[in-house]
Amino acid sequence: MCGRFVSSSPPDELAKYFDVEQVADKVLEESYNVAPSNDVYVVVETGGIRRLETFHWGLIPFWAKDPSAGNKMINARAEGLAEKNAYKRAFTKRRCIIPADGFYEWKKVPGQKAKQPYFIQRADGEPLAFAGLWEVWRPKDTARDEGDDGDVIRSCTIITGQPNEKIAEIHDRMPVMLPPDKWAEWLDPENDDLATLGKLLVPAPASLLAVHPVSTAVNNVRSRGAELTAPIDPDADGQDRLL
* pTM score above 0.85: yes
Give me the torsion for CA of 87, 220, 129, 211, rounded to 10°.
Answer: -130
Q: Residue 191, SS3?
A: coil
Q: How far apart are CA 125 and CA 195, in angstroms?
A: 32
How many residues are given for the chain?
A: 243
φ, ψ of residue 157 in degrees (nearest 5): -140, 150
pLDDT less than 50: residues of the chain:
145-148, 237-238, 242-243
Do the bridges between strand 103-107 and strand 116-122 make them parallel or antiparallel, or are there none, so unpaired? antiparallel
Enumerate the active-site residues: 2, 105
List pLDDT tens digits, range 54-100. Answer: 999 999 999 999 999 999 999 999 999 999 999 999 999 999 999 99
Cα(179)–Cα(183) distance, rounded to whole angstroms? 7
Q: Is there a contact between 8 and 178 (Cβ–Cβ < 8 Å)?
A: no
**Domains of the chain by residue range:** 5-103+126-206
How much is the pLDDT for 23?
96
Determine the CATH number of domain 5-103+126-206.
Answer: 3.90.1680.10
d(CA 99, CA 52): 10
How many Å from the N-terminal Cα to the C-terminal Cα in the chain?
27
Q: Are 239 and 215 in contact (CB under 8 A)?
A: no
How many helices, marked H, and strands, marked E, lie in the chain? 4, 13
Q: What pLDDT was estimated at residue 1?
A: 75
Contact indicator for 182, 204 with CB cutoff of 8 Å:
no
**Predicted pLDDT at 239:** 52
pLDDT in tens, 56-69: 999 999 999 999 99
